[in-house]
Amino acid sequence: MTFPRPARALCLPALAALLSLAPPLTASALAAEPPSRLDIQAQAELSVVPDRATLEARLWEHTPAVPQGAEREADAEALRQARQRLEERAAALIQRLEAEGLASEAITAGSLQVQPQHLPMARHDDDEGVPQVRTRLLRPVSIEVEDLAQLPGLLDALTEAGVNALDGVRYDLSDREAATDEALVKALEKARHKAKLMAETLGIELGEVIAASETRAPVFQPRMMAMSDARAEGAAPTEYRPGTITIEAGVNVSWALDDAP
C-alpha cells in the first residue's frame, strides 16, 4: 500500500522534531564514563621439594647368535635357558632390594619382552659374511621409593645386582593435588594484591569480584634426573639431591568498582 505524497511530507517534520529532542552522544561523553570494572591478570610459581621417587631399571639376557634362517632350530632351548637366567637375576634383585628395607609391594617387575635382534655381519676375507640373529629377553623393574633417604642404598643395590640399564630417577610428590591447589591460591592472592595496589594508587574503590577464570591451569610434572655416580675409590658416597619441582598457575580476576563518595 502506498501513501499519498502529502502524507509523506507531513511525516518528515515530525521525525526531525523527535531527533532534536534526543541529546547528542559524542566521543567526549563516552570517554567521560568511568570504568565499571577492574580486570587483573596474575601468574605465580610454586617450588616444592619432592618427597618420593621412582627408579626404573632393566634386566636382559640374550640367546646365542646364530646364522639367519637357522634360529628356529635352536631357538626353543636357547630361549628357555635365557629366560631362566633372567628370572633368577630378577628374583635375586628383588631379594636384594627387600634387604635394603624396601616393601615387596613397592617393587614391580614388568612383563617379559622378547625382541629379535639382527647383528652386523661378520665379514671374512673369502666371503661376504652371514647375517646373525639373536633374541633379547628383557624385564623392566620399577621401584617406588617413599623415603628419599633410602635412595643411595637402593641405587647401590641395583648396581651391585648387575642391572643392565638404569633409566634415571623420577621425583614426585605424594600429594600432587595439594601442591597444585597451593599454586592456584598463590596466583589468586597475587591478583588480589595487584588489584588493591592499583585501587589505592588510582583512588578508586574495589567492589565485589564479578568474574574469575584460569589463564593457566596448574600442571604438575614429575622431575626426571639422569643418575650419575662419579665417586672415586675410597671417596664418600655420592649425594642424590632431588632439587625442586616448579608448578605454575595463572588467573584472570575482575572486580566491580564502587562509586567514589
Better-scored residue on pLDDT, 4 or 101? 101
* Reported confidence tier of residue 233, pLDDT bands at 50, 70, 90: very low
Closest by Cα among 40, 38, 41, 37 to 249? 41
pLDDT the model gives residue 16 = 46
Q: Please, how many CA atoms are within 13 Å of residue 168, restricted to the half-sphere of its CB?
A: 8
pLDDT digits (tens, 9 = 90+) for 48-59: 999 999 999 999
For residue 110, how many other CB atoms are within 10 A of its CB? 13
pLDDT the model gives residue 90 = 94
168: left (phi over 0), alpha (psi -120 to 50) or beta: left
pLDDT the model gives residue 46 = 94
CA distance 226 to 85: 28
Contacts of 55 (CB under 8 A, 6+ apart): 142, 143, 145, 151, 154, 155, 158, 166, 169
Cell of 176: 600432587
Rounding to the nearest 10 degrees, give the CA dihedral for residues 119, 124, 126, 127: 10
Query: Taking the CA atoms of the chain, what radius of gyration do you get in angstroms?
Result: 36
CA 169 to chain centre: 15
pLDDT digits (tens, 9 = 90+) for 35-45: 689 999 999 99
H/E stretch holding 243? none
* Reported confidence tier of residue 130, pLDDT bands at 50, 70, 90: confident
* Reported confidence tier of residue 12, pLDDT bands at 50, 70, 90: very low
Lowest-pLDDT range, 41-45, 128-132, 251-255? 128-132
pLDDT the model gives residue 18 = 43
Closest by Cα among 111, 130, 114 to 122? 130
pTM metric for this prediction:
0.67
Closest by Cα among 192, 261, 254, 251 to 35? 254
On the question of pLDDT at 127 being above 80, the answer is no
On the question of pLDDT at 15 being above 60, the answer is no
pLDDT digits (tens, 9 = 90+) for 89-105: 999 999 999 998 899 99
Question: Residue 133 in 3-state DSSP?
Answer: strand
pLDDT digits (tens, 9 = 90+) for 100-125: 889 999 999 999 999 988 887 656 55
Better-scored residue on pLDDT, 24 or 63? 63
pLDDT the model gives residue 82 = 94
Better-scored residue on pLDDT, 20 or 192? 192
Rounding to the nearest 10 degrees, give the CA dihedral for residues 61, 64, 68, 73: -100
Task: Please state the φ and ψ torsions of residue 164, each to the nearest 5 degrees.
Answer: -80, -25
> What is the average per-residue pLDDT within 74-87?
88
pLDDT the model gives residue 66 = 82
> What is the average per-residue pLDDT within 15-28?
47
CA distance 98 to 93: 9
Start-to-end CA span in the chain (Å): 58
Lowest-pLDDT range, 133-142, 187-196, 228-237, 250-259? 228-237
Question: Average pLDDT of the chain?
Answer: 81
Closest by Cα among 94, 32, 89 to 60? 89
Question: Residue 173 in 3-state DSSP?
Answer: coil
Give the chain's domains with CATH numbers: 35-50+174-230+239-261 (3.30.110.170), 52-122+131-172 (3.30.70)
